[in-house]
Structure 1
Amino acid sequence: MFPNKDFLIKLAHTKMPYGKYKDRYLIDLPEHYVVWYHSKGFPKGQLGDMLRQVYELKVNGLEDIIRNIKRQFPKG
């Protein structure tokens, strides 16, 4: 299943709410941290869904898709 446009726009503007990387955009989290979550288990809920999507994007080298969305759809 592919994420919808609204989900991707929200993902582009969501920051990590806690931990070592608090307040960093999810797409800008270090790859090793997202891979660690993948092996540990993603949190439940929307944050987990977003981190799972970030993992897929990073593993496939597609982070620029989210960065472009962030520029095209500024948070308003």
Structure 2
Amino acid sequence: MTHEEIMQGLVATKMPFGKYKDTLICNLPEAYLVWFHQKGFPKGKVGMLLATMYEIKLNGLEYLLAPLRNKTLQ
């Protein structure tokens, strides 16, 4: 996946399972992402997106997703 595809995936992909099923990955609470970080992210695309979102939230970079969220809403 390219960098652009990953960023787009964060604002377009819904959590496929668990407590926050059907919540966009970019909207998952930080505590949930921390829990995954401690327990281990799932394998595959969803795990990679969750790990990326964890890093974005951990480093206060959520503003990078704002233009993509606005684009997705149009």
TM-score between the two structures when normalised by the length of structure 1: 0.84
Structure with the higher helix share, 1 or 2: 2
Query: Given residue 43 of structure 1, which amino acid in structure 2 is its aligned partner?
Result: P
**Contact 1:12–1:70, Cα closer than 8 Å, also in 2:** yes
Structure 2 counterpart SS, 1:39: helix
2:11 is aligned with 1:12? yes
Query: Contact between 1:12 and 1:67, CA under 8 Å: does it hold in 2?
Result: no
Query: Where do 5+ consecutive residues of structure 2 fail to align?
Result: none
Structure 1: 4+ residue segments shifted above 2 A: none
Identity percentage of aligned residues: 44
1:26-75 alpha-carbon deviations (Å, 9 max, x no partner): 11111111000001000000000000000000001112222321213x27
Pairwise mapping of residues 33-52 of structure 1 onto structure 2 (< 5 A)? 33-52=32-51
| Contact 1:16/1:26 (<8 A) preserved | yes
- Higher RCO (CA-CA < 8 Å; seq separation 6+): 1
